[in-house]
Amino acid sequence: MNSNQFEGSVKDAAGKVQDAVGGLTGKVDLQAEGKVRQLAGKAQAKYGDSVDQVAETARSNPIGALLIAAGVGFLLARLL
């Protein structure tokens, strides 16, 4: 688990608590803020998952990763 996955899970959990507290107290703004925090946490956790997946793919197929990186570098050089 990388830092983005961990921080995203913490934000998601904090958002759920904030959403619940807002629902119990009747504060709609607190509840909405909790829902936004949940979404941000889930997005950050998904980003962490993607980073792990790319890193694992590069470790398992380093030549393919190198060729892709070279291709992207070539395209960026042509564009600039």
Token duo for residue 22: 């807002």
pLDDT, tens digit (0-9, with 9 covering 90-100), for 24-39: 999 999 999 999 999 9
pTM, full prediction: 0.75
Show me where the domains of the chain are located: 3-79
pLDDT, tens digit (0-9, with 9 covering 90-100), for 9-28: 999 999 999 999 999 999 99
